[in-house]
């Protein structure tokens, strides 16, 4: 299978979530199911059904995280340099509004636009790949075209 690029911080966050699910969440939901079973008739027991649903979600997330982590290719951005590529921290200015934004280009599993972590498969990240400081970038977005200028590229 294809490797999934990931930063060290992203890998650590997913690994921490997996440990939390296995050591805290899973045992808690098993206790909740056992407790709900003691209440008798399971067919009309809302606590039991809610606990089973939560268990299903937890088990699914554990499988998803194990799969992601087994395919992860951890890339250390501090060892990279040059034009924009995976792991780059890019400072941009919107050429229309002069609004400055800073993003780090990361893997799909760790992307969080609110925290400035830009998915490598996003239109903006794809447009930025290969560009350098001073370059202008045109991006087609759902809200129409956007123009950005690359102010700086760092690998931290």
Ordered strands of the 100-106 beta sheet: 117-119, 100-106, 89-94, 144-154, 136-141
pLDDT of residue 37: 87
Neighbours of 30 (CB within 10 A): 13
DSSP string of 90-102?
EEEEETTT--EEE
CA 8, CA 25: separation in Å to the nearest integer?
A: 24
pLDDT of residue 36: 87
| 156 residues of the chain, pLDDT tens digit each | 789 999 999 999 999 999 999 999 999 999 999 998 888 777 788 889 999 999 999 999 999 999 999 999 999 998 888 899 999 999 999 988 999 999 999 999 999 999 999 999 999 999 999 999 999 999 988 888 899 999 999 998
């Amino acid at each position: 299978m294809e490797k999934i690029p990931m930063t060290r911080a992203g890998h650590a966050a997913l690994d921490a979530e997996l440990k939390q699910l296995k050591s805290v969440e899973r045992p808690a939901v098993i206790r909740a199911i056992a407790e709900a079973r003691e209440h008798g008739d399971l067919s009309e027991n809302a606590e039991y059904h809610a606990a089973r649903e939560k268990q299903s979600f937890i088990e699914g997330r554990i499988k998803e995280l194990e799969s992601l982590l087994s395919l992860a290719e951890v890339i250390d951005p501090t060892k990279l340099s040059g034009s924009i590529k995976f792991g780059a921290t890019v400072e941009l200015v919107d050429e229309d509004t002069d609004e400055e934004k800073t993003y780090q280009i990361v893997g799909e599993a760790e992307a969080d636009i609110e925290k400035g972590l830009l998915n490598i498969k996003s239109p903006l990240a794809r447009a930025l790949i290969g560009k350098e400081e001073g370059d202008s970038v045109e991006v087609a977005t759902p809200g129409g075209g956007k123009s950005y200028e690359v102010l700086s590229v760092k690998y931290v």
